[in-house]
Structures are given as structure tokens and as C-alpha cells.
Amino acid sequence: MSTFKTQDNIEIYYKDWGSGKPVLFSHGWPLDADMWDVQLNFLAESGYRAIAFDRRGFGRSEQPWQGYDYDTFAADIKALIDHLDLDDITLVGFSMGGGDVSRYLANYGSDRVRGLVLLASVTPYFLKTADNPNGVENAVFNGIKEGLCDDRAQFVREFVNAFYGANVGQRVSDGVLEQSFNIAMLASLKATIACVTAFSQTDFRGDMAKITVPTLILHGDNDQIVPFEVSSKIAAGMIKDASLKSYANGPHGFVVTHKTALNQDLLAFLQRIY
């Protein structure tokens, strides 16, 4: 099993498929690197080196009590990049993973990065505040944490239905729902709860201004988890060289429901920037 150690000596699992220009994927909450298997396989077969990792506290990575903040997540990505000595990378972040790849660029710059892809990302700022009036009420995030503490298994089972839009008629297999539930239940309860605080309260608006690489932003227009209007639509206007596309009737988990379109859009973007 492939692993590396972070700056605070936490063991992180990763998968590394194919060869060519590297594409590094950061997963969403509360999943792990396995959410990317279709994309990893497609890009590896298309001549790219596709890499994904399990965030600390999730999947096969170590489950520390500390480190569930975006500066640490960005440092973990840097540790992986250094471990594999990657250069000319395209970073791809989904949902909360869009935050850590954005924070990586803000904290460490773009010397080793060719491009950025944000998929249904929580950037630039998820929480409703006086200067972010279109954000999501904090009571929503408190309710998520309460649900996790009370009955995580039931909360996750209901969450994955909304994640893929199965509760509003989106067609997704029982196998996908079961796999996502099983992946989510591998994570530590501590990490699962702490990451809700991280992705809801971290302000990435300053990070957006520091992104200078070509950026592709993709989002489903029927996203019940991270609404398009409060995230990608705003982020696209804040990033200098960003292009924005939405998927018709796309749920939050369009990585699965719209996988063919996503794969082609990723490939077209990579072919454009390399």
C-alpha cells in the first residue's frame, strides 16, 4: 500500500496510476480517493499520471485527533507533491477538496502547478455572514454536526441520497449509494465532524485572488449540498483565468451521474493547457 508521511508525521494513503503529466485529485466530504476511480482510470488510459489520496482522518489514512484545518490540508498536499517530486501538475478538487487545492496555491504558489480544476467546490466562502449574505446559515452546519453525533450511520445514508440527487429523481444505482455509505463510514467521527467546521467556516476569498493558473470550474445546476449560486458562480468571477460550466440537472455528485461528460471536459482542459 502506497503511503507518505506529512510534516506532523501522519501517514496518508495515495494511489498513483499511469504515466505522463500528473493530475492530482483531492476528494470531497465524507468520501476518500476511491470516489475518483473512474476519472483516474480514464486519465491514466489517456496518457496522464493520475494521483489521488485519502485525506487525513478518512479512508485508509491515519486518523489523528488534530489537523483538520485548511492550512494543514494544504501542507499535506505539499508533502505528497514533495514525496513524489511532482512538477507541472494539474490540481483537481471536489467540494471540500476544492478548498485545499486552492489553499495550496495561496500558501505555496504555482511554481509546480500548470492548471486547476474546481468541481462543485466550497470556495470562495460557504457560510452566511454580514459580508457574505448569500451564504448558508450556520444553523445548517450545526444541524449536520448534531446529526453525525446522534446517529452518523442514518445521517450518512440520507445524505448520500441528496448527494447524488436520488431524492429528486436522479438515476443512480444502489451500488453507488452503498459504496458511498461504506466509504463515509470508514472515516473517523472526529474527522467527519471537524471537517464540517473547516469547510463551512473557512474564507477562501483571499485565496481566489492568488490563483494565477488556468482554471476550469464545473458544477451541477441542481446541487443540493453546495449550491451553485453561492459557490462556483462567485468563484468564477474572482479567479483571473477561469472558465465556468454547469451540468444540466447535475447533483452534487455529478462525478458519478455525469461521469462521461466530466471525463471529456477534464481531458479537453488538460489538452488545452499542456
Res. 241: pLDDT tops 90: no
Verdict on whether the full-model pTM lies above 0.95: yes
Average pLDDT over residues 70-77: 98
Confidence of residue 148 (pLDDT cuts 50, 70, 90): very high
Res. 1: pLDDT tops 90: no
pLDDT tens digits for 190-209? 999 999 999 999 999 999 99
pLDDT tens digits for 26-60? 999 999 999 999 999 999 999 999 999 999 999 99
Average pLDDT over residues 6-10: 97
Angle between helices 138-163 and 174-186 (to 10 degrees): 140
Active site residues: 95, 223, 252
Mean pLDDT of the chain: 97
Confidence of residue 247 (pLDDT cuts 50, 70, 90): very high
Per-residue model confidence (pLDDT) at position 260: 98
Q: Nearest 5°: phi and psi at 137?
A: -60, 140
- Percent with pLDDT over 90 in the chain: 99
CATH of the structural domain 3-273, one choice from 3.40.50.1820, 3.40.50.2300, 3.40.50.300, 3.40.630.30: 3.40.50.1820
The answer for residues whose C-beta is within 8 angstroms of residue 92's C-beta and 6 or more apart is: 23, 24, 25, 26, 39, 101, 116, 117, 119, 266
The answer for residues whose C-beta is within 8 angstroms of residue 170's C-beta and 6 or more apart is: 164, 222, 249, 251, 257
Confidence of residue 249 (pLDDT cuts 50, 70, 90): very high
- Percent with pLDDT over 70 in the chain: 100
User: Could you tell me the residue ranges of all domains in the chain?
Assistant: 3-273
